[in-house]
Amino acid sequence: MIQKSFDTPWKVWNEIARRITYPWTRFIFMLNGIRWGFGWKIYGTPIVQKHRRSHMYFGDGLSLRSTTSSNPLGPNHPVILCTWQKGANLEVGDNFAMTGGSLVSALSITIGNDVSIGANSSLMDTDFHPLVPMIREIDPDAGQAAPIIVESNVFIGMNCLILKGVTIGCGSVVGAGSVVADNVPPGMIAAGNPARVIKAVNFQNSQPEYN
């Protein structure tokens, strides 16, 4: 243990910083009426923007990294957790991990168990603003929304955008830098802009094959 601390001293400092900010982080979640789960590790306080008449839930084993030093990929900003409108639902299962990036729900985002999201990726179930100029002038916040579902054991790489109406099936992988506008079937690797299915995940290998 001592040798490991000498070899990776930044991890020691990250852990010290996590414990220092723990009271404030927990207060932010309490202030927003969000249950504090078992085994949470939150490095740097996330930005929580919860509509008073919305629902936000996170399972046990939550891991959020919001500080630049907490991940060598360097989050661009703290994790943002947002329920944008009345009645919005953001529900996340156990053992969820995310670095930087945003979860923005105007309608519904549901994430299963054992899901990991790479640095600076964002999931948003809304267009925010209408596409038609005349409607945008009347109501700039009237963008279309459709639920996002991320099933269990999904891995989403860094710098990805997951757009409204998308379902990512169980065990799938989304390659770094992808823009996902269509469903990804279970057990598949998808990548690109727009993202397309490349091949099936090789479940016989401990690491997915990309080539």
Q: Is the dihedral of CA 117, 192, 131, 76 positive or negative?
A: positive
Distance, in Å, from the CA atom of 122 to the CA atom of 178, rounded to the nearest integer, reads 11
CA 92 to chain centre: 9
Query: Contact 187/172 with Cβ under 8 angstroms?
Result: yes
Three-state secondary-structure class, residue 18: helix
Give the residue carrying structure tokens 């269509």. Answer: 182
129 in catalytic set: yes
Radius of gyration (C-alpha) of the chain in whole angstroms: 18
CA 39 to chain centre: 18
Catalytic residue among 51, 55, 77, 129: 129
Query: Contact 35/58 with Cβ under 8 angstroms?
Result: yes
Catalytic residues, which ones? 129
